Structure 1
Amino acid sequence: MAMTVLSNIVISARVRRSPFFAATQRYGCKAYSVYNHMYMPLYYQSPEADYWHLVNGVTLWDVAVERQVEIVGPDAARFVQLLSPRDLSNCAVGQCKYLLMTDETGGILNDPVLLKLAEDRYWLSLADSDVLLWAKGVAYFGNYDVEIFEPDVSPLQLQGPLAAAVGEALFGSALNDLKYFWFAEFELAGMPLIVSRTGWSGERGYEIYLQNGDDGDRLWETIMEAGNPHGIAPATPSAIRRIEGGLLSYGADMNLDNNPYEMNLGRLVDLDQEADFIGKAALARIKKAGITRRLVGLAVEGGAAAVPSLERAAITCDGAPAGRITSAVYSPSLEQTIALALVPLAQSGEGSVLTVESDVVPLSAKVSPLPFVSRKTV
């Protein structure tokens, strides 16, 4: 994804700082964006250097921008199911589920990770959109017996092939028993934490949920100290690695104008479940009619220098419009510019040759299978 970095950061009271913000500055974060009304670190040494730390070792990310929406009460399970087309009837306490939230037209509102803390208590760990307001409105007008609020919870991510070694140094061998997309409660230096076997890197990793913002600096330094023997480095969610891994970014690759089927996420929609959910009728109509476009991977000529010109670039096929780029990066591992793109179904087959109308010159691109790079994360 092309990244434009301004030379100054103006700290505003309207934009929140995470409990780890001071640590990110102390460790040399060079740029921030705003995500869920909070400052989000973008890189430390450089996006490429941070990427190599991630794929070769272990990194620590401030992802407190993944705000939590807590839903608790007698109707919590029924209400959470209303928000998502994924069948959650078999979700167990201690389990995480990647899911979509859809509106009445089947458009995607958010793609959070759900954590089931108790039979009547859930967290939605959010991408960048105001789900708290949506959920409160739906609950009020639906007369659901639930409380919905943002708890004092701030996650860090520990990601990379050496994440398990650092995790064991912090939490002991019990962490090795944690299954993929499950979580458990731990205590570290007197700090109660929830640790999940999840992440947004395509690498081995964990998310560590701090439940008291006052302990942000102490938790950061405790993890860094445990990771020092393993060469831990501060980093951020890597656009390079997530596009290599075919991981989607809400707001970039999908939004309310997209439905799950064109995003290759039909597996997260269960139209046969007994429970109702918002958008069920619309998604049934979409599935029956069939999609007209699909998200694909593209290998693009032009090298790293071409990436800044690809932001939202139009795509053509034999001179006719054929979609647009949603995200693009240069992959140092593949030595190739790669992109995610939304293209007409007729041009979505593997090997299809398209033209990207970059800001500089037209570039040839070929539809490639996703993920571009796959590594064992479980």
Structure 2
Amino acid sequence: MKVLLIGSGGREHAIAWKISKSPLVEKVFVAKGNGGTYMEEKCQNVDLENIDEYIKFAKQNNIDITIVGPEAPLVEGIVDEFKKNNLKIFGPSKAAARLEGSKIFAKEFMKRHDIKTPEYRVFYDFKEAMEYIKNCKYPCVIKADGLAQGKGVVICNFFDEAKDVLKKFMIEDIFKGSGKSVVIEEFLEGVEASILSITDGNTIIPFISAKDHKRIFDGDKGPNTGGMGVIAPNPYVNEKVLKDFKENIMFPTLEGIKKEGLGFCGIIFFGVMITENGVYLLEYNVRMGDPEAQAILPLMKSDFFDLILKAICGKLQGYVIDWEEGFSCNVVVASKGYPGNFEKGHIIKIGDVKNKIFIAGAEYQNGNLITKGGRVLSVTAIDKTLDGSRKKAYEDIEKIYFKGMYYRRDI
């Protein structure tokens, strides 16, 4: 089969690498891809900009299935447009993508379907939000309603911090509309976990869990990023936690999707908090996480493309995903200045690495990989023990160099 994969980050490199291993796949076109997808077997980068161009390309090149990596095209309604053109595509409808595209919609969906989630208030007006934070309990969590590239959630420890965040989101409009309305949420003590799943709209199957590290600095300090590294499976997700998650979050979510007729064939990513009082849902994503995909897909023994095919055909019931035993550790290497204004244009030198490198913000030019993004690449290593996988990943990172490279040392 011929596949069109949309996206250009580390997640898309991981997806392209994984599906290219399938005997069912002849060719993977990646739009726009990056320096990593450029070098993968069966893969070819294509310069496409928007939904109309994707549709035209899919028709002209007899694409069998399109897979959407990032959230923005899903929120824009790419799946609905492809289906209007009788083209097969893996991802949720525009209506279902609101579960990620609007934090307000997601929280109200959770409330409607009795899904355990922290208490919250919604604000569309800056003055009303300001009045609320004068007397609310701290810490509190302020979330931009719309898409903000993983940077729209801030934990505020005191009033002046919350005031500054509200001003940036609602008045200065740093997210270009996405923060004009906000959710202010109760802060929960606990351990976060990422649990990805796949659904055909009737059956839902969870993947192995993961633990993301969102803050830029060691010890979970500094501003949020898109993610600085992941371990999988998450050591805190035991059988008791998984049972709680399935009964109170995962299955009620699928039932809610069915009841509301949202049309969901794709990946549901559950961001949860494990507390003393059980598991709470913090947020939905409607696609693979980045860098969760880079940690989870290397542990998947099953044919990922076959799994996607089964979902598209509505045949997930009874499917059992086979996983490698052991752990993976993914460590992200970023450009100097990330997540703010970062440097780019530096040559990346890679020595004799033993494990898989996933390229994110780098392109291939004149025989060299050149940095062009905030998160440049990541290394994923697998071992029977978590410590072993971490040791392997960090040993490989020492064989990689570009000017100003930065990574956390405590993933």
TM-score range for the pair, normalised by the shorter chain length: under 0.3
Higher helix share: 2
With the length of structure 2 as denominator, give the TM-score of the two structures: 0.25
With the length of structure 1 as denominator, give the TM-score of the two structures: 0.26
